[in-house]
Structure 1
Amino acid sequence: MIRIDSRTKLRRASRLVWLLALILGSLLLVGCNRDESVPWRLTNVTGHMPDLDFKLVDDHGKPVTGQDYRGKVVVLYFGYTHCPDVCPLTLAQLHVVMQRLGPLADGARILFVSVDPARDTPDVMHAYVNAFDPRAVGLSGAPREIEALSKRYRSAFTREPDKGDGQYEVSHSSAIYVFDRDGKARLLATPGNPQDDLVHDLHLLLSMGASS
């Protein structure tokens, strides 16, 4: 029994190292060319990542695309409702950020994309995201659509083997992607970034008009 537990821990650690290496690679790639005309505190990815574009289903069961969120500053995060730690902590942090932004936060949306569509139905997603913030939207879809969107933004996830009772974990990247009102990728953050930096940069983006 001890031998099996050790192997499981080693396998999980290996996956986490792989995911960390992937996201660090992305940070190094986009961090080498920063726009100094705006005093961003987060990693500036302007021109280095594709526009917000997807075809998924929201937490009301309605088909939506990236175009539906034009005019809003979008904070995109990949996760799942059974996540034991980083997802609820990140969403709780984003809720506090929205509170600190005050009325400006009405111009923003948190898009929580599930990497576990088998369990994260629209009803499950709706109850989950609304427990954190009214500006949060849960998005899900077919596995191939989730995989395509994940690859589009250099994110990654891998599902642990099912334990036989329908319970399993999903290892996933923890990057936070920020898009402006035109759907352009602008900033990249991680749950480790200071909350003040998120508030500062979102305030700047929300204060800008579309196509600015």
Structure 2
Amino acid sequence: MAVLTFLPSRRRALALAAALLAAGVLTGCERGAPGAGGSRASFKGVDITGADYARQLNLNDPDGKARTLAEFKGKLVVVFFGYTQCPDVCPTTMGELAEVKRSLGSDGAKVQGIFVTVDPERDTAELLKAYVANFGPDMLGLRGTPEQTQAAAKEFKVFFSRVPGKTDTSYTIDHTAGSYVFDTQGRVRLFVRYGGGGKALAEDLKTLLAETS
């Protein structure tokens, strides 16, 4: 199942994960890949080829330009939902993707990383733009209104929930920790769990690129 981050206790994490799994919210378990099948390739990540979710993403970039998945056809797209004040999972995931892109050499330009903030109230356009730039000039940050963010998360079956802090602005966010990979035709193909490692992701991206060569 997908990984939930920043839960204050192991007991709460297990209880929340169990509840969400029962409700069908968490994504990425082998049997829980609706519509999967038909793909002959062997992947390290969870093959969700043919899934009836994660089909569209319509949000603005930090410059206010509307962006969609369709504009990236011809590239592999890796989509991750997180927030800029995330202390470990988010920067680790983005840093790992940046390293994978570098390891692919010239093929790295064929991989588009997209970071969708689940915290648009704190992640201003300026902050989001600066954050994704830390991981490479071609990394893209997307944000929307709270309502648009909820809709995007629902489309991707991504869970997120605010955990109150000592002040109104010191909260953290529990969220699904995993990435979605789209092939060069814009079809969702993989759910990559957090912690799988850059080597495994690189191998899966090479496999997908080989489909078009």
TM-score band by shorter chain is: 0.7 to 0.9
Partner of 2:61: 58
User: After the TM superposition, which of the residue ranges 29-38 and 167-176 deviates more from structure 2?
Assistant: 29-38
Q: What pairs up with 1:143-162 in 2 under 5 angstroms?
A: 143-161=146-164
Aligned-CA RMSD value = 2.5
CA distance in 2, matches of 1:168, 1:24: 22
CA distance in 1, matches of 2:90, 2:170: 17
Point out where structure 2 has 5 or more consecutive residues left out of the alignment. 1-6
Q: Is the 8 A contact 1:79 1:113 kept in 2?
A: yes
TM-score, length-scaled by structure 1 = 0.84
For residue 16 of structure 1, report the CA deviation from its aligned partner: 6.7
Residues 57 and 196 (structure 1), Cα distance of their counterparts in 2 relative to 1, 3 Å cut: same
Q: Is the 8 A contact 1:91 1:132 kept in 2?
A: yes
CA distance in 1, matches of 2:88, 2:120: 19
For residue 9 of structure 1, report the CA deviation from its aligned partner: 3.6
CA distance in 1, matches of 2:162, 2:119: 8
For residue 15 of structure 1, report the CA deviation from its aligned partner: 5.2
For residue 208 of structure 1, report the CA deviation from its aligned partner: 3.1
Amino acid at match of 1:91: M
TM-score, length-scaled by structure 2 = 0.84
What whole-Å deviation, never above 9, does each CA across 1:18-41 have from its counterpart, x for those lacking one?
A: 247547664131299554621222
Number of matched pairs: 202
Residues 187 and 92 (structure 1), Cα distance of their counterparts in 2 relative to 1, 3 Å cut: same
Point out where structure 1 has 5 or more consecutive residues left out of the alignment. 1-7
Q: Highest CA radius of gyration, 1 or 2? A: 1
Q: Is the 8 A contact 1:50 1:184 kept in 2?
A: no
CA distance in 2, matches of 1:147, 1:14: 23
SS at match of 2:177: coil
SS at match of 2:106: helix
Residues 163 and 44 (structure 1), Cα distance of their counterparts in 2 relative to 1, 3 Å cut: same
